[in-house]
Amino acid sequence: MDQKYDVWIRVERFEGTDDGYVVLRAHWAISTADSSAPITGRTVDLRRHGWKPRDYPGMVRLLSKEIAEMSQEIARSIP
């Protein structure tokens, strides 16, 4: 039988700053589907420079890269 997992993600920051950064700060945790006790988890604080304030499509592109990075980290952490 395949093991099933639950993943929780709590986003604390998801924004662009006036000095040209986009920021994703989140806490994620993984548990088995039959338990609420986390087997692993971590807080991520990802920042990318290169955003021009008020360029919202650009902010979305940079934040999507941060989300992909966090997703890969979560996937690598699943036993």
Q: How far apart are CA 8 and CA 73, in angstroms?
A: 13
Are 55 and 18 a contacting pair, CB within 8 Å? no
Count how many domains the chain has: 1
Q: How far apart are CA 3 and CA 62, in angstroms?
A: 33
For residue 29, the number of C-alpha atoms closer than 13 Å in the C-beta half-sphere is 10
Which band of pLDDT confidence, cut at 50, 70 and 90, is reported for residue 79?
A: confident
pTM of the model: 0.82
pLDDT tens track for 51-66: 999 999 999 999 999 9
**Domain that residue 10 falls in:** 5-77
